[in-house]
Amino acid sequence: MLLPAAKPMRTLTGLDLQALPDAVLRSTQPLVLKGLVAQWPMVQAARRSGQAAAQYLRGFYHGAEVEAFMGEPQYEGRFFYNDDLTGFNFRTVRRKLDDVLDDLDHSAVEAPAPGIYVGSATLDSCLPGFRSENDVPLGDRDALASIWIGNRTRIAAHYDAPDNLACVVAGRRRFTLLPPEQLENLYVGPLDLTPAGQPVSLVDFVNPDLEKFPRFAQALQSAQVAELEPGDAIFIPSMWWHHIEALDDFNVLVNYWWKQTPAYMDPAMNALILAIMCVRDLPPEQRKAWAGLFDHYVFKADSESTAHIPPHAKGILGAMEANTTRMLRAHLLKKLNR
């Protein structure tokens, strides 16, 4: 059911798959793109049955292994930490995709069923040729296309740095999104021990414990929710938190990630980790001074910040380019390897 206070997401209809407006792909708010990929052959197969969708996937499969998460039935498809946050409540295995599809077929008649989840498999490597029949043209965006396959699963709320266009092609999925400023109300877990690479909220969105996580009630005031059917897509802007529930026995999603920044830029998470190491534990007055420096040179930087320095003398305060980032990376590695 819908979470209390969650607002419906803005929905666009009638979009041309071959000519998505740039305003959609640069939106800073989530958007449901109703029926965007409804004509994909994969979607048409899924609308016949889960078995037909699985058979369609098998037609492109050539034996590559995928990484699969396997969870015991008592966790009801929630892939998460163990009780003391020292590990996880699932195991990760490398398996052939056709074996995973067999497992999903068998699990559909089990009650309760184990959780089965193939996440972020590179589409061109896993199912070569699939995109010749099922694809979203994204112009000159260097997008990574991935496929996600599983049964009734729940993925904890997390953010991704790239923009994300996610296309539901089999089964139904419920997306609950929250803006980046809700960070402190989401009770985020460890940064260096994560279920799948990204830090996640420790709150169970389906059964939130508001005694343990009281500020989550505030987060819900900003939540947006959408339930998507096969053929629908959702645009998730960079850094928005998203919790995803797969609602049927067989679910497939295809997504595209891309960045709006040059490829030579390092992930911003590297800067956060360095700041935790170098700044967080300074005396309070020094932290305050460094906050001012970060604001001046990073968060509030504009053309006036360094206007008093001649262009030829700005160094790293000037325009960032690929050569500059290479030199800075080498400099930092030398400093860190002391």
pLDDT of residue 5: 59
Check residue 108 and give its pLDDT.
86
- Reported as type and span, the H/E element at residue 45 is helix 41-48
Please give the pLDDT value at position 4: 54
The pLDDT value given to residue 1:
39
Written as six digits, the tokens of 133 are 């029949």
Q: Domain spans of the chain?
A: 7-258, 268-336
Using the CB atoms, write b or e for 109-137: b if 16+ within 10 Å.
Answer: eeeebbbbbbbebebeebbeebeeebbbe
The answer as to CATH 3.30.460.20 being correct for domain 7-258 is no
* Amino acid 217: pLDDT: 93
- The residue assigned the tokens 């990484």 is 67
Q: Smallest Cα–Cα separation from 252: which of 225, 226, 230, 227? A: 230
Residue 140's nearest CA partner among 254, 258, 31, 239 is 258
Q: Which two tokens stand for residue 316?
A: 């790293």
**Short-list 127, 189, 120, CA closest to 158:** 189
- Tell me which residue of 225, 252, 245 sits closest to 10, measured CA to CA: 225
Closest CA to 75 of 223, 207, 224, 261: 207
Predicted local distance difference test score (pLDDT) of residue 111: 82
Whether the ω angle into residue 112 lies within 30 degrees of 0, i.e. cis, is yes
The neighbouring-strand residues paired with 31 are 235
Structure tokens at 22: 């740039």
**Residue ranges for the chain with pLDDT beneath 70:** 1-5
Question: DSSP letters of 214-249?
Answer: TTHHHHHTT-EEEEE-TT-EEEE-TT-EEEEEE-SS
